[in-house]
Amino acid sequence: MAVAEVLFWVAAGLLVYTHVGYPLVLALAARRRRARPPAAPAELPRVSLIVAAHDEQEVIAAKVANALALEYPRGLLELIVACDGCADRTAELARGAGADLVLELPRAGKVPAQNAAVERASGELLAFSDANALWEPDALRELVAPFGDPAVGYACGQARLLDQGGSNQEGAYWRYELAVRELESSLAGVTGGNGAIYAVRASAYLALGPAASHDLSFPFMLTKRGLRAVYAPAAVSEEKMVATTEGEFSRKRRMMRGLYDEVVRDGMLAPRGYPAAYAWEIYSHRVLRYASPLLHLIALVTNLVLLDQGTVYAFTLAAQLLLLVAAALAGAIPIGPFRIARYYVLMTASIAAGFWDRIRHGTPGAWEKAEGTRS
């Protein structure tokens, strides 16, 4: 029983730590070591804004118009639309809306399309966005501001998710995630970004493989190369979020399919090159979060084994079962706590499901739009 007890308390403790303890400790650490925001560049840099698109005819013209209306000197902004095997009018509409360069590429995936665009880009900074993400007028100026510090290699902005009134609780989670991201940025650097609004120095760009993502890989890879990855909350983008929790599960499952390659093969787990504070962030925030399905399984199985070892184990098992029951009842009884329970259970399950898909089908290549986020 001693082994089961150790496994249970370690698994339960790590789950509580990564979701609750880490943000609290991070807030204390960041308060003691809060860095001043870097000065903006003395001169605005030339920026290539790259939009990778697959069959985005519904939104691409509006995206191009939004990009060209940014409060940034037109002569310093190059807009590139990289069409990844588009079978609709995306390329035609992007050209008609005024994109500087439209690439019509064979279907290979989002990252290969971005890589192809970078090869043609002329900017000293490379900014990236999704076709359905609309930036506020000053977003690009705010996004490039941190690059006034030569140590900054990557910056991500604030992606605001527009609630469509469905069951998805991603908005609540995302507000929590952005608060953690701001604290990380003020300490050692962010451990993840988002696809809606971010930028990287052209000289630091890494041509990743099709299974990887800039959101997860760039922050830790560039940190290992001696550059900082920061959060620019005043650089704001807006996009619709998936309406239902089930739809969000499908989206996250697709994203998680490439997780093994980024965490293991691409070196997130390897501590070499991390400053101490960033290593603490990456293991506390990313590694433990991605291990959550396994930790939950260990906690549940060992709790069942320990059920006759005292009242405390009856309470801990009841808490775990209550979470699962609340998640199961959320469809029939759509109250807030039940919806949050369902969101948490399904998002945790999406990590395991994505890994299972990786085992069965290998690394992902092509990408699909999240249903209901374009119209």
DSSP secondary structure, 129-182, as one string = E-TT-EE-TTHHHHHHGGGGSTTEEEEEEEEEEEP-SSS--HHHHHHHHHHHHH
Q: For residue 266, what are its two tokens?
A: 């691409």
Is there a contact between 237 and 157 (Cβ–Cβ < 8 Å)?
Answer: yes
Please name which of 214, 216, 198 lies closest in space to residue 260, comparing C-alpha atoms: 216
Each residue's pLDDT tens digit, 140-161: 999 999 999 999 999 999 999 8
| Per-residue model confidence (pLDDT) at position 231 | 97
Q: In Å, how far are 31, 197, 234, 252 from 189, measured between CA atoms?
A: 14, 17, 17, 24
Domain boundaries of the chain, sorted by first residue: 47-245
Distance CA 179, CA 320 (A): 27
Each residue's pLDDT tens digit, 99-129: 999 999 999 999 999 999 999 999 999 999 9
| Per-residue model confidence (pLDDT) at position 265 | 79
Assessment of whether the complete model's pTM goes beyond 0.95: no
Q: Which regions of the chain are under pLDDT 50?
A: none
Is there a contact between 90 and 78 (Cβ–Cβ < 8 Å)?
Answer: no
Is there a contact between 188 and 273 (Cβ–Cβ < 8 Å)?
Answer: no
Residue 39's CB is within 10 A of a number of other CB atoms, namely 10
Longest alpha-carbon distance in the chain = 72
* CATH for 47-245, options being 3.40.50.12160, 3.90.1150.10, 3.90.550.10, 3.40.50.1100: 3.90.550.10
Please name which of 39, 35, 37, 36 lies closest in space to residue 148, comparing C-alpha atoms: 39
Distance CA 252, CA 307 (A): 34
